[in-house]
Structure 1
Amino acid sequence: MKAHWIAILAGSGLLVTACGGEPQGRDVSDADTGYQTTLMEQLLDAQPGDVIEIPAGVFSFDRSLSLTVDGVTIRGAGMDETILSFANQASGAEGLLVTASDFTIEDLAIEDTNGDALKINEGENIIIRRVRTEWTNGPDTDNGAYGIYPVQTTNVLIDGAVAIGASDAGIYVGQSRNVIVRNSRAERNVAGIEIENTEGADVYGNVATENTGGILVFNMPNLPQPGRQTRVFDNQVFNNNTRNFGHPGTPVASVPAGSGIVINSNDDVEIFNNDIRDHRTANIIISSVYSTGYSDLGTREDFDPYPEGIYIHSNTLGEGGNNPDNLELQALRLAMFGINGRIPDVLWDGYFDAGKQVNGTMPDALRICIDNGDAEMLNADGPGGYGNPRMAEDYRCQLDPLPEINLPF
């Protein structure tokens, strides 16, 4: 097992242009092309407190939309009734770019954008409710990276959303604070739901299925703030086995097909009361950025590459680990568990910060703790060059529960 962890994770042939047959997108030949000017003028002329109502219909846009005014609500007639199609987009990348606070968007769909579907940058008090983002041709590396994409935001609610076909993450919250993602569905993305470099997030009541990885909690270097304190609970995370169609060199491209929940270099993460099953590689993966193949570790002194304070308990864990995503893990499975065996429910790359140990033991608050019935953890021995994978020891413990996230609205 000398292969680099990215090979263990990604495997040869993992990164592909598309999955399945010939892409089939939405037919927009009958879409309303005249509404573009109306909506652009409404967004440009908007005042705080305005509600912009978009009627039912399929509306075609050939350029990006933007909003810069605080206190605006955009409301459609339903995510399957009001459809903003960017299949003919010739200008701009995003579908809708919002740089404003006290913003609500609800009951509409954004489809087939060149880049990100809905991006909200540097706002606070953001509500995204019953919004669908989708690339209708299915999984494809040429799809936009992010579906629902609030970044550098504070006080965010994503509720009842649907995200399909993103080449990075369907629902992504990055570099933000005080976040709730609930009652939403992510399918056929590389990452279904991703919380990255975010402080304080609750992810619950969601369905993540048919992605490459179901739910990701990442902390990456060279970003303005570190991530910590995420609760992932009461979710259905199953059958996330779609081949990775992410762009080579991006962090998400290292996620192996068949990953349920993945924690990477993040601290204080509690995973509980989830139904996690039917993942060919592993139901839960815990790793350091050292194992991703992502080489730009930067010079930030406060970046901590080690996952610490991880508490996994009270989950329902089904089948998984019986057909890992590459030959290296297949060989490990056969050697350690036999032809009918499987990778344990928790796969850990083995990286930890020895400098934080006290008398050879990690302090209780920094440990990886599993209190989940007979669930076991495999240490893949990343620090040793993956040469001595073995069953982990001393992980049967409990941590204090993390606090609930509360929003001010």
Structure 2
Amino acid sequence: MSKSIIHSMLAMGAAMSLAACGSGNEGRDLSGADSDFQTTLIEQLIDARPGDVIEIPAGVYSFDRSLSLAVDGVTIRGAGMDETILSFANQTSGAEGLLVTASDFTIEDIAIEDTRGDALKVNEGENIIIRRVRTEWTNGPDTDNGAYGIYPVQTTNTLIEDAVAIGASDAGIYVGQSRNVIVRNSRAEYNVAGIEIENTIGADVYGNVATNNTGGILVFNMPNLPQPGHSTRVYNNQVFDNNTGNFGHPGTPVASVPAGSGIVINSNDRVEIFDNDIRDHRTANIIISSVYSTGYSDVSVQEDFDPYPETIWISGNELGEGGGNPDNVELQALRVLMFGLTGNIPDVLWDGFQNADLLVEGDMPEQYRICVDNGDAQMLNVDGPNGYADPAMVEDTACQHERLPEIVLPF
């Protein structure tokens, strides 16, 4: 029998299996390797053509290996993020739950649970839509969980909306080394980093809820990556009670984020933080730092990397309780020394690293300054370069920068 006939018979049988196991909301809880549904979905992903819509009915479906898609123009659609569940609790092979290396890709109304590595990774695609997708490690925060939940990297024109990410040991929703990104109306909870924008050019992060993470929303630049990031707006988000102990892998940048961090900017430029509700963080509501404060081991490898956060504008945020019990021995001692036993670290905590080559008569030119134009919010310079030897409140922070443009996606 020819290979083409065998392949056709497999595809026909797979289609019949999909129809059978998707009839009804109860689905099938499959635990064995090479189950009918696993075979079905793998066949559909292999045989997909541009314009195809792969429908996955309500149900809980078990996989023991990664899934992958490498065809442009495909949509994967479930019946809802709490109705169609792809479970990888029995995964024995592969680094992700679903790896996509394609453009014009949409995934919606589906959950990916308990993967051995990253849950959903999209690599190097254009025009990516991730909508109403839930990624979760159901055992709760654990260093052995996969690093990333929703993970587009080196993409262009990316929309993540109405998503949920829970339990990632690095970042629940992470967009890295990308361009033109919107993350909106999503929820990140019990991750090390709730939402992270890293080495990305042009991102709008708004309408999200970040709670019970170690750090709520991070805007990072890290060395030794293909591009430096800049121009991120973080606005109209609810960022509260991100006090979960850091369970990231030691030696990774995110492992340096102290529990109780609301919004963290690290080594990134042209960042706006405005009109957010930020409160109930034990270390600080907003932290601005250099890569030199992360403990990251490869800081000095890339000579042209700019480690300093510049052109930062904080305005119009509702800032609640914060800074009363920092997750850092030095900061705890500094808090007591400067503000007393019952005092709090100010809303904005800056590590004090800045580019000495830009200073003019000891002052940073206005176009590079950190502007805290946010009511009575104050900023503390902890003097990180000198080991916290001379911390001080920063005077005259009420400056402004030119507004960043809105991110517009072509779809």
Fold equivalence (TM over 0.5): yes
- In structure 1, C-alpha distance between the alignment counterparts of 2:28 and 2:191, rounded to whole Å: 26
- In structure 1, C-alpha distance between the alignment counterparts of 2:362 and 2:334, rounded to whole Å: 28
Question: Which sits farther off after the overlay, 281-290 or 390-399?
Answer: 390-399
Residue identity in the other structure for 2:48:
A
- Other-structure match for 1:241: 243
1:270-349 pair list within 5 angstroms: 270-349=272-351
1:79-90 pair list within 5 angstroms: 79-90=81-92
- In structure 2, C-alpha distance between the alignment counterparts of 1:356 and 1:329, rounded to whole Å: 28
- Other-structure match for 2:37: 35
Question: Which sits farther off after the overlay, 331-340 or 175-184?
Answer: 331-340
Residue identity in the other structure for 2:380:
L
1:5-404 pair list within 5 angstroms: 30-31=29-30, 33-404=35-406
The answer to which structure, 1 or 2, has the higher relative contact order (CA under 8 A, 6+ apart) is: 1
Per-residue deviation at 1:29? Answer: 9.3
SS of residue in 2 equivalent to 1:383: helix
Sort the Cα spacing of 1:29 and 1:42 in 2 relative to 1 into closer, same or farther, 3 A. Answer: closer
The unaligned stretches of length 5 or more in structure 2 are: 1-26
- In structure 2, C-alpha distance between the alignment counterparts of 1:99 and 1:372, rounded to whole Å: 42
* TM-score, normalised via structure 1 length: 0.92
- In structure 2, C-alpha distance between the alignment counterparts of 1:385 and 1:237, rounded to whole Å: 29
Report if aligned partners of 1:173, 1:195 keep a CA contact under 8 Å in 2: yes
Residue identity in the other structure for 1:84:
L
- In structure 1, C-alpha distance between the alignment counterparts of 2:64 and 2:236, rounded to whole Å: 40
- In structure 2, C-alpha distance between the alignment counterparts of 1:138 and 1:60, rounded to whole Å: 19
Per-residue deviation at 1:301? Answer: 3.5
Q: Provide Cα deviations, 1:303-340, integer angstroms capped at 9, x if missing partner.
A: 10000000000000000001111332221111100111
SS of residue in 2 equivalent to 1:336: helix
SS of residue in 2 equivalent to 1:404: coil
Per-residue deviation at 1:298? Answer: 4.5
SS of residue in 2 equivalent to 1:118: strand
Query: Aligned-residue CA RMSD in angstroms?
Result: 1.2
SS of residue in 2 equivalent to 1:230: strand
Report if aligned partners of 2:28, 2:59 keep a CA contact under 8 Å in 1: no
Specify which structure has the higher proportion of helix: 2
Residue identity in the other structure for 1:212:
T
Report if aligned partners of 1:213, 1:256 keep a CA contact under 8 Å in 2: yes
The unaligned stretches of length 5 or more in structure 1 are: 1-27
SS of residue in 2 equivalent to 1:117: strand
Report if aligned partners of 1:222, 1:298 keep a CA contact under 8 Å in 2: no
Per-residue deviation at 1:363? Answer: 1.8
Report if aligned partners of 1:160, 1:182 keep a CA contact under 8 Å in 2: yes
Residue identity in the other structure for 2:377:
A
